[in-house]
Amino acid sequence: MHVVKILIKVAITAVALGAAAWFLDGITLTGDDGGKKALTLVAVAVIFGVVNAVLKPIIKTFGCAFYVLTLGLFGLVVNAALLLLTSRIAEELDIPFHVDDFWPTAVVGAVIIAVVAFTLDMLFGDD
């Protein structure tokens, strides 16, 4: 994957995370100004991307039956859990991003992130 594609994916994920933080009270993004918040979103987008790249294939492999039984809705639970894990990692790294709880914050946040990221990827992705 080219560097430009990676940067586009990180930017799309950062915007999607920002949208989730804007829409939901349970997702907290703190910072003094817009620039700090933007850098925080980029850092969280990188963490979220790494968490997804490492854990999601493993979870999909072992949870294949759950994906089939729930007609893919199990993916929503997985995405919410990965968002919550990203929040915990960000806190450990002193990055000011926090997701309050699993239900409804992480679940609804995962939906918002998926919809925004999908839309932006359709508009700006080059695949």
**Each residue of 9-19: pLDDT tens digit?**
999 999 999 99
- φ/ψ (deg, to 5) at 46: -65, -45
pLDDT at res. 127: 59
**Over the range 89-110, which residues count as b (16 or more CB within 10 Å of their CB) and which as e?**
bbeeeebbbbbeeeeebbbbbb
pLDDT at res. 76: 95
Q: How far, CA to CA in Å, does 79 sit from each of 34, 53, 55, 124? A: 27, 12, 10, 22
What's the pLDDT tens digit per position in 28-77?
998 778 899 999 999 999 999 999 999 999 999 999 999 999 999 999 99
The residue ranges of every structural domain in the chain are: 30-124
Of the candidates 82, 77, 87, 86, the one whose C-alpha atom is nearest the C-alpha of residue 107 is 77
pLDDT at res. 32: 78
More confident residue, 77 or 125: 77
One-letter amino acid for residue 124 of the chain? F
One-letter amino acid for residue 18 of the chain? G
pLDDT at res. 30: 87
Q: Which H or E run contains 97?
A: strand 97-99
pLDDT at res. 33: 86
pLDDT at res. 1: 57
